[in-house]
Amino acid sequence: MWEAIASNARRSWVLVSLMGVLLIALGGTIGLAIEPQVGGYFGISAAVLVWLVLWATAAGAGDSILLSTAKAREIQKEDAPQLWNVVEEMTIASGLGRMPRVFIIDDAALNAFAVGYRPQKAAVAVTAGLLKRLNRDELQGVIAHELGHIRNQDVRFMTLASVMVGAIVLISHGFLRGMFYGGGRRSSSRGSGGGQAQLIFLAVALVLAILAPLAAQVLYFACSRRREFLADASAARFTRYPEGLAAALEKIAGQAAPQTEISRVVAPLCIVNPLQGRALVSLFATHPSTEERIQVLRRMGGASFAAYQAAFQKVHGGRARCIDARTLAEDADVAVRAASAEPAGHEAAVVRAREVGELLDRVASFVVIPCACGVRLKLPPGFPRDTLKCPRCGTQHAVPRPEAAPPEPRQPARPLRYHRRTGGWESFQCTCGQTVQLSPTFGAPDVACPKCRQRIEVVPAGSA
Amino acid sequence: MGTTTIGLLIALGVLLVVLFWLIGIYNGLVRLRNEVKNAWSQIDVQLKRRHDLIPNLVETVKGYAGHEKGTLEAVVAARSRAVGAQGISNQVVAEGELSQALGRLMMLVESYPDLKANQNFLALQEELSSTENRIGFARQHYNDSVMTYNTRIQSFPPNVVAGMFNFTESPFFELEQPAERAVPQVKF
């Protein structure tokens, strides 16, 4: 079954290597165009250096950068037991071994994405809108799709590839700008020595700088689309229920508002492209069209990879392939399971919406005061007043202060001590950051910090 | 003399390539066998989880429907049988019975609206239905792993290596009777 990963990885390496060749060619020709003798080596090293820096950043801190740009907050089991359980179930079904961390994004739009340069440190993030609108089976489908990405090591590849694209774009852009603003002056000052070769390199470099970013992006997006199909197939196989993901995709595609919070950076990782409102040429689309994906899922005659492949061919016609032959050969037929019993209808939706609202409040550390009359008073963090009147029955409620409990200055475990160096004017920094000044005549055994009021022992100069 | 040396070198080279190839196959088989083992232990973990949930569930139900002694005691008895079951086949039977007893308990709950509104019970119900799912998914993953492993052992080059190093096929986890396959229908 996991041959899919191996073949995926092979294909990815070919693509990444192609991009690498493109990057080196670009760096080399730009270098030669600027300095025909040794510029080639310099250009190649500069290009590789740019790539290395970008890659190190993405591999080291990429996950946290992505999650914080999307304003995702980590949750624990108590916050959203059902979501947590679904993630845990899918971890077991996918044989991932270690449960990814779970994040929630306070956004009404419906979307989800997975990050994790290493599968052991993966994380999934879902929007609040998604939790509100999807039932358990649909949520399971979405989570299975995301874990499929993690299991198929898509995130790692997408990071590598997007960094490669980024480096190519950066270098081309820099070169083209340089040409427009400084290029003419440089070539005229150099005279005609070896100008012929340089002119040719210059022309080649210009063409490459214009075409390379486009070529890199086409490669990147083609690969990204294929991986979406594979993740859908994995989701159907893990859940044994293709309809769950299909229904979820339908709901997600039907949403009115385009996503605002999720930026372009995260877009390729999402379950559907959050930026679909903008006109994207299909060659440059990171995701296959959602309708197409729903059609394939709905036409599956089972839950196996083979069933997905068959449905894929039915939709696309001909001999279109999305799963390699070896995976299909090692896979057996698996039947689709029945839908799980869950209440549908308006009431269930209302209950779920309220639960998600409370979850968001908890995650954002809102304070909720339940009034005896049934009204729930919700206070944002840092509510300024001490009491609050219930708008319905008029009862006065004391506002609980979560961290205001110890108002007295915090005494550190170890007494703070400052050793005077001279007998003159001296100043030092308190642990709270406040500067404390001592005059030449200061003779007391301790001093109070003017800001945090904690006592700092002062040892006179000369004594041990 | 010269040709013999070259011949020997070529033979040695071929031998080395074959050796590395066999090592690769062997390592692949070990990896698959370990995945099967892990998948099996995951089923055990989830069954244990279900055993741990039941005392809590029974206590909560007792508070509202204490007079339904028969059903409650059946669940407790089925649990202790499942905990004590030795050997895979006994374990499968005992777990199947436990599932049925739990199913009856959940049916009974339907007639106690107060119980169904209890927060504690609702949380337990979500845990229980999730645990049932987990057991199902763990079994599914185990069977998937076994299938990949068995297919690999049977197919041509690996079967030679498997024969040499005593890799044997793993059994699938199948419930013997369809009736035992029934997991409790937990209604929300």
Q: What is the DSSP letter of A413?
A: S
Q: Assess if residue A66 is contained within a domain.
A: yes
Q: Assess if residue A464 is contained within a domain.
A: no
pLDDT of residue B136: 86
Residue B18's pLDDT band (boundaries 50, 70, 90)? Answer: very high
Q: Is A435 left (phi over 0), alpha (psi -120 to 50) or beta?
A: beta
Q: Assess if residue A391 is contained within a domain.
A: yes
Helix B119-154 and helix B88-109: axis angle, to 10°? 150
Specify the pTM.
0.72
pLDDT of residue B99: 86
Angle at A349 between CA A348 and CA A352, to 5 degrees: 85
Asked whether A122 and A101 are in contact (CB, 8 A), the reply is: yes
What is the per-residue pLDDT across B152-174, written as a single tens digit (0 to 9) for each? 888 888 888 888 888 888 888 77
Is residue A254 over pLDDT 80? no
Residue A409 structural domain: 365-459
- CA separation (Å) from B84 to B50, B73, B77, B147? 14, 17, 11, 29
- Distance from C-alpha of A85 to C-alpha of A67, rounded to nearest angstrom: 21
Among A81, A86, A93, whose Cβ lies nearest the Cβ of B123? Answer: A81
pLDDT of residue B182: 46
Asked whether A160 and A17 are in contact (CB, 8 A), the reply is: no
Q: Is residue A238 less than 8 Å (CB to CB) from chain B?
A: yes
What is the per-residue pLDDT across A360-388, written as a single tens digit (0 to 9) for each? 777 766 677 777 777 777 777 677 777 77
- Distance from C-alpha of A458 to C-alpha of A328, rounded to nearest angstrom: 77
Query: How far apart, in Å, do the first and last CA atoms of chain A sit?
Result: 72
Query: Which of A31-35, A417-421, B98-102 is most confident?
Result: B98-102
Residue B58's closest CA among B124, B131, B112? B124
Is the domain of A277 the same as that of A328? yes
Contacting residues for A304 by C-beta, under 8 A, at least 6 apart: A237, A331, A332, A333, A334
Within 13 A of B11's CA, how many CA atoms are on the CB side? 6
pLDDT of residue A371: 78
| Burial (CB count <10 Å: 0-12, 13-18, 19+), residue A292 | middle
| For range A345-351, the mean pLDDT | 70
Chain A residues closer than 8 Å to B151 by CB: 330
- Distance from C-alpha of A16 to C-alpha of A339, rounded to nearest angstrom: 41
H or E element, residue B114: helix B113-117
Q: What is the DSSP letter of A384?
A: -
Residue B49 CB neighbours (<10 A): 15
Contacting residues for A130 by C-beta, under 8 A, at least 6 apart: A110, A111, A112, A139, A142, A252
Asked whether A225 and A316 are in contact (CB, 8 A), the reply is: no
pLDDT of residue A197: 73
- CA separation (Å) from A211 to A206, A219, A454? 9, 12, 64
ipTM for the complex shown:
0.77
Residue A194's pLDDT band (boundaries 50, 70, 90)? Answer: low
Are B126 and A82 an interchain contact pair (Cβ–Cβ within 8 Å)? yes
Name the one residue in this structure whose structure tokens are 């954002």: A364
Q: Assess if residue A78 is contained within a domain.
A: yes
| For range A69-95, the mean pLDDT | 87
- Distance from C-alpha of B140 to C-alpha of B133, rounded to nearest angstrom: 10
Helix A3-34 and helix A39-69: axis angle, to 10°? 130
Chain B residues closer than 8 Å to A343 by CB: 188
Is the domain of A176 the same as that of A313? yes
Is the domain of A354 the same as that of A373? no
Query: How far apart, in Å, do the first and last CA atoms of chain B sit?
Result: 85
Are B137 and A90 an interchain contact pair (Cβ–Cβ within 8 Å)? yes
Is the domain of A279 the same as that of A303? yes
Name the one residue in this structure whose structure tokens are 């509202």: B64
Q: Give residues 324 to 353 of A whose Cβ lies within 8 Å of B.
A: 330, 332, 341-343, 348
Q: Assess if residue A159 is contained within a domain.
A: yes
Is residue A203 over pLDDT 60? yes
Q: Assess if residue A346 is contained within a domain.
A: yes
Lowest pLDDT segment from A243-252, A282-291, A363-372, A431-440: A282-291
Is the domain of A371 the same as that of A357? no
Amino acid at the residue B156: F
The residue in chain A having the minimum alpha-carbon distance to the alpha carbon of residue B130 is A85
| Last residue of one domain, picked from the residues A361, A388, A420 | A361
H or E element, residue A250: helix A242-253
Residue B49's closest CA among B112, B105, B97, B98? B98
Is the domain of A204 the same as that of A314? yes
| Last residue of one domain, picked from the residues A311, A340, A361 | A361
Contacting residues for B7 by C-beta, under 8 A, at least 6 apart: none
Distance of CA B50 to the CA centre of its chain: 13
Is the domain of A77 the same as that of A224? yes
Are A330 and B144 an interchain contact pair (Cβ–Cβ within 8 Å)? no
In angstroms, the separation between the Cα of residue B67 and the nearest Cα of chain A is: 28
Is the domain of A297 the same as that of A357? yes
What is the domain count for chain A? 2
Residue A142's pLDDT band (boundaries 50, 70, 90)? Answer: very high
- Distance from C-alpha of A381 to C-alpha of A47, rounded to nearest angstrom: 48
Catalytic residue among A138, A146, A228, A243: A146
3-class DSSP state of A115:
strand
Mean pLDDT of the residues in chain A: 77
- CA separation (Å) from B146 to A413, B27, B143, B155? 58, 16, 5, 14
pLDDT of residue A140: 93
| Last residue of one domain, picked from the residues A342, A361, A380 | A361
DSSP for A186-208 reads HHHHH-STTHHHHHHHHHHHHHH
Is the domain of A413 the same as that of A321? no
Chain B residues with a Cβ under 8 Å from any Cβ in chain A: 35, 38-39, 42, 46, 123, 126-127, 130, 133-134, 137-138, 140-141, 144-145, 147-148, 151-152, 185-188
Is the domain of A342 the same as that of A377? no
Residue B179 CB neighbours (<10 A): 9
Phi, psi dihedrals of residue A107, rounded to the nearest 5° = -150, 135
pLDDT of residue A405: 43
- Distance from C-alpha of A79 to C-alpha of A82, rounded to nearest angstrom: 9
Higher-pLDDT residue of A341 and A146 is A146
- Distance from C-alpha of A170 to C-alpha of A95, rounded to nearest angstrom: 39
Asked whether A396 and A387 are in contact (CB, 8 A), the reply is: yes
Is the domain of A209 the same as that of A274? yes
Query: Which of A186-200, A269-283, B6-20, B135-149 is most confident?
Result: B6-20
Is the domain of A329 the same as that of A407? no
Q: Assess if residue A199 is contained within a domain.
A: yes
Q: Assess if residue A267 is contained within a domain.
A: yes
Are B138 and A92 an interchain contact pair (Cβ–Cβ within 8 Å)? yes
